[in-house]
Amino acid sequence: MKIIRLTPLDTFFFRDARSFQAGEDAWAEGVFPPPPSVLYGALASAFYASQNDFSLSDNTEVNNRQREMLKNFRITGIFISVYDGKIVLPVPRDVVKLKDEDKNNLMYLERKPNTLVSSLQTEEMLFSPQQSETASGYVDDNTYKKILLRENLDNPSYYSDIVITEGKTGIGREKLTYTAQEGELYTMNMYRFNTDKYKKCQIVVTCEGLELPEKGITRLGSKKCFSYTTEDMGITTDKFIPSPPKEDMKENIFRLCLSTPCIFQKGWIPHWLDENTLEGNVPGTDLRLKLVTAAIGKPTLLGGFNMKAKNGKGFPKPMCRMVPEGSVYYFRILEGTYEEVIQKFHFKSVSEKSPSKEENSTTDNTAKKGFGIAFIGI
């Protein structure tokens, strides 16, 4: 397995899914971190750029042969690193920050029976015993391991300002004359890593099935350049963030924590769960699980643009809803073992085929791109 470290050479920008056409809006909003598909496409482009015999072609046979070169390429993890190597992950959404606190005091949401008369179908709900707010930031891998074990969170390593914004105003220009175009003044918030506070910051991708030079440069996001370095992963994935021991699990309930945004065919739940009973058999296993409760964020949208269609013209991709990173699902094991849970879900992708994809696309298309990377907690 490879580790790829991406370092921005300047400010960077990853657009959200909203339209940004002339005459519609003059303010472009960005997102961070970028969707996994953006990283997948950038690394695939870096691979093709390193191949001496690669060329753009209208020949279907040539294109299929070139795609075959990346058939085993799979993103297995996406992280941020600070201080030149410390890995941080998004805070699970069942962990919140106490209000009116000078320090970064974090606490767990607690479970209680769902007695509300509402559309919420889970048997339990999560609540905060004190005034709190969403902990929209990152924690280092040691704190993340504590969260998976639901241990005390005294003095957590919490980072809420890894990226800062930097305004940019520009105007569209004619391609031939370079004169300003009327009605195309725009403003966008560019991003920059907070290197004054956190020193060297990088986007870190773990992957398999991809061979790149030890170092190089690739474009990522809005035509911005990132340098990259590659190295072999020195430890196995099960030791990077180990799963909690079975004996610490209570009431046969485990937590599934998403570290990257996830796409489910049924919106916010996996396709194998019944929408009424919230029970289901996990495909390819002997597991039968019941969703007890969940802490998920507001859905985010994934768009994109197909550069070339069958008619020779590009077109926007259908919009797709994603469950945001940090979302947490509490499942009770009805049948099967905890060991099967770890084998199926821990440091694995639970993302499914996008409902907006073509019928002939693979059922694994979002999983291999790094969507829905999950870790198991108790």
Q: Say which CATH number the domain at 111 has.
A: 2.60.40.4350
Task: Report pLDDT for 363.
Answer: 45
Q: Please report which helix (H) or strand (E) contains residue 67, including its range.
A: helix 60-68
Whether 362 has a pLDDT exceeding 50, the answer reads: no
Same domain (yes/no): 261, 330:
yes
Residues 87, 103: one domain? no
- How high is the pLDDT of residue 117? 74
Assess contact for 162 and 176: CB atoms under 8 A. Answer: no
Number of structural domains (the chain) is 2
* Residues 97 and 200 occupy one common structural domain: no
Lowest mean pLDDT among 80-89, 114-123, 254-263: 114-123
Contact in structure between 252 and 333 (CB atoms under 8 Å): yes
- Mean pLDDT in the chain? 86
Residue 263 within a domain: yes
Give the per-residue pLDDT at 53: 73
pLDDT in tens, 125-146: 999 988 899 898 999 999 999 9
Average pLDDT over residues 9-27: 69
pTM for this entry: 0.89
275 φ, ψ (degrees, to nearest 5): -70, -20
Same domain? For 213 and 361 the reply is no
Across-strand partners of 219? 225
Structural domain span for residue 169: 1-91+159-234
In whole angstroms, give the CA distance from residue 65 to residue 71.
10
Mean pLDDT on 350-356:
78
Q: Which two tokens stand for residue 240?
A: 């990077």
